[in-house]
Amino acid sequence: MDEKLYLITSKTLQSSLLKENLERELGRKIEPIIFNNFLELNDTCNINLMYVILDMEYIQGDMIKSYLNHMHEEGRKAKEILINNSRDINVSFILQFSNVVAVFFKDDCLDSINKGLGDVLSGRFSLSNELSQKIIEYYRENDLFSSRTFADLTCREEEILKLLLVGASNIQIAEQLFVSENTVKTHLHHVFKKIKVRNRLQALMWAKKYKFDGAV
């Protein structure tokens, strides 16, 4: 089953046109939803099998704090796509969102957004080279990267890391390797600890910095 796509935005003509364009180009249904309604999604909605497109012109201030608290307290791991960002956005702001897979800016053309979202739906990240470099520099300046010690990873840990870097979810990794999801979580815990990162985006940046095989 395809993962569901939610677009958290305001009810405007612009957001309606964006939704229609994305649906037409991606061939996938997108459900627009206002912020409060998203927070009230019931437990029957598997948020771990969703993409959440966040319109950052709409989501501001306390809404951001509420969203982050909600995702943390509920233990939700939806893949997050940030759109309509300013070019001068602070890296530390982006990194508040622990499951970011794509970042788009206000001046990005629709073709660029469509291509990027297509990459995301194919299991890849969509981050500009400029933004990726800024994130790497941020991690380096804050001493958030370990040294290049590939030998510390077991063969299975390397295998799981490579699958993670192409966007596979824990469930998808488990299915491909014929192991349980809990086994995947245990391996990822060990991988993250060894390379000194906290989430998938940090793992991607670590792999880019050290040219780990499988980094996109």
User: Which pLDDT tens digit goes with each residue over 18-48?
Assistant: 999 999 999 999 999 999 999 887 655 565 5
- Of residues 210 and 91, more confidence is placed in 91
Q: How many structural domains is the chain composed of?
A: 2
Checking if the pLDDT of 69 tops 70, the result is yes
CA nearest 186: which of 196, 174, 197?
A: 174
215 part of a folded domain:
no
Q: What DSSP state is assigned to residue 150?
A: G
Q: Which domain holds residue 160?
A: 146-210
86 part of a folded domain:
yes
CA nearest 82: which of 67, 97, 66?
A: 97
Q: Alpha carbon 118 to chain centroid distance?
A: 14
Same domain, 79 and 162: no
Mean pLDDT is highest, among 157-161, 167-171, 210-214, for 157-161
216 part of a folded domain:
no
Same domain, 13 and 116: yes
CA nearest 184: which of 162, 212, 210?
A: 162
Same domain, 114 and 152: no
Given this model, what pLDDT does residue 4 score?
A: 86
What CATH number is attached to the domain comprising 172?
1.10.10.10
Quick: pLDDT tens for 179-195: 998 999 999 999 998 88
Same domain, 119 and 30: yes
Given this model, what pLDDT does residue 198 score?
A: 82
Same domain, 120 and 159: no
Same domain, 13 and 114: yes
Contacts of 137 (CB under 8 A, 6+ apart): none
Given this model, what pLDDT does residue 186 score?
A: 93
112 part of a folded domain:
yes
User: Is there a contact between 105 and 55 (Cβ–Cβ < 8 Å)?
Assistant: no
Checking if the pLDDT of 127 tops 80, the result is yes
Same domain, 62 and 168: no
- Of residues 49 and 111, more confidence is placed in 111
Mean pLDDT calculated for residue range 88-108: 90
Same domain, 182 and 114: no
Same domain, 9 and 116: yes
Given this model, what pLDDT does residue 16 score?
A: 92
- How many angstroms separate the CA atoms of 10 and 75, rounded? 25
Determine whether 166 is exposed, middle or buried from the number of CB atoms within 10 Å of its CB (0-12, 13-18, 19+): middle
- How many angstroms separate the CA atoms of 52 and 32, rounded? 10
Same domain, 107 and 193: no
Q: Which of these three, 126, 157, 183, is where a domain ends?
A: 126
What CATH number is attached to the domain comprising 13?
3.40.50.2300
- How many angstroms separate the CA atoms of 110 and 36, rounded? 27
Checking if the pLDDT of 151 tops 60, the result is no
Same domain, 159 and 104: no
The pTM of the full predicted model, rounded to 2 decimals, is 0.77
Checking if the pLDDT of 56 tops 90, the result is yes
Same domain, 93 and 47: yes
